[in-house]
Amino acid sequence: MSVLSFHEVSVRYGAHTVLNGVSLEVPAGRTVGLVGESGCGKSTLARAAVGLAPVTGGHILLDGRPVPNRGRRPVQMVFQDPYSSLDPRMTVGESIAEALPERLPKKARQAEIARLLALVHLDAARAGDLPGRLSGGQRQRVALARALAARPEVILADEITSALDVSVQGAVLNLIRDMRRDLGLSMLFISHDLAVVRYVADHVAVLHDGEIVEQGPTARVLGDPRHDYTRHLLAAALPLKEQT
Ligand SMILES: Nc1ncnc2c1ncn2[C@@H]1O[C@H](COP(=O)(O)OP(=O)(O)O)[C@@H](O)[C@H]1O
Ligand SMILES: [Mg+2]
């Protein structure tokens, strides 16, 4: 199990400071929720950890060392949109095989694909399907299997249930909880949806305009918020909950 830590991380695009001195730790085997309104910099923080956004200040460490971004990548990102994250011309099995860290003989490869599909609760027979035959929830499971293929220590899940029907969101969230328990993964779980974060995260950090304004145990932060912005987020979420 591994610890991912952000130390005073800043990201600037030209004159635009997107993240300003963000410090956050994802402890070994725990799930940390990152919440905040659209545009506050959530995705940028995750992207910075995998070398997809320019870190202009501070540093990001995995078990105290820079995050490797070549060869086997122990930090894997899963994105919001399962429709664009899978190549429509590749079968599920081919997509997963492509993400394996080493080339395996055919038999071993098929066994590994079946193992990964089982981890995300999909039938091994799905390996022969093109993504077009799968539902959004099934595609997101395949995207998770692809991420797991690299045998990661840390998963950065960026709004992975936001594009799914409410009816399948719960199943994907349960899968996330199982993955943490069974694989000992550390996870940064990004969502603008506080109800979803409340369900999966042990600890939550609130990002506002590129800065963390509050963080702590999920029940404390969402149950007894100390910062006005957290209260504002909770108040904004409340009417939605009452409607449903
Ligand atoms: N590649 C980029 N170039 C310039 N600005 C960017 C880039 N990526 C993100 N931004 C800006 O950074 C801010 C935060 O974006 P993002 O991290 O996607 O927010 P969130 O995921 O919280 O909605 C936005 O203002 C966005 O326009
Ligand atoms: Mg985002």
* Domain 1-74+193-244, CATH: 3.40.50.300
Q: Starting from the CA of residue 19, give the closest ligand.
A: 1
Any ligand 1 atom below 6 A from CB of 14: no
**244 band by pLDDT with thresholds 50, 70 and 90:** very low
Q: Place 243 in a pLDDT band, splitting at 50, 70 and 90.
A: very low
Alpha-carbon separation of residue 157 from 37, 100, 102, 173 (angstroms): 16, 19, 24, 11
Nearest CA among 86, 96, 94 for reference residue 131 = 86
Is any atom of ligand 1 closer than 6 Å to the C-beta of 40? Answer: yes
pLDDT digits 0-9 by tens, 64-123 = 999 987 778 999 999 888 778 889 999 999 999 999 988 899 999 999 999 999 999 999
| Domain ranges, ordered by start, for the chain | 1-74+193-244
Ligand 1 pocket test: pick from 13, 79, 229 the residue with the most ligand atoms within 8 Å of its Cβ. 13
**Closest Cα to atom 8, ligand 1: which residue?**
44
**Is the CB–ligand 1 distance for residue 80 below 6 Å?**
no
- Output the pTM of the full model: 0.93
Q: Report the chain's mean pLDDT, rounded to a whole number.
A: 92
**Tell me, what's the pLDDT at 239?**
58
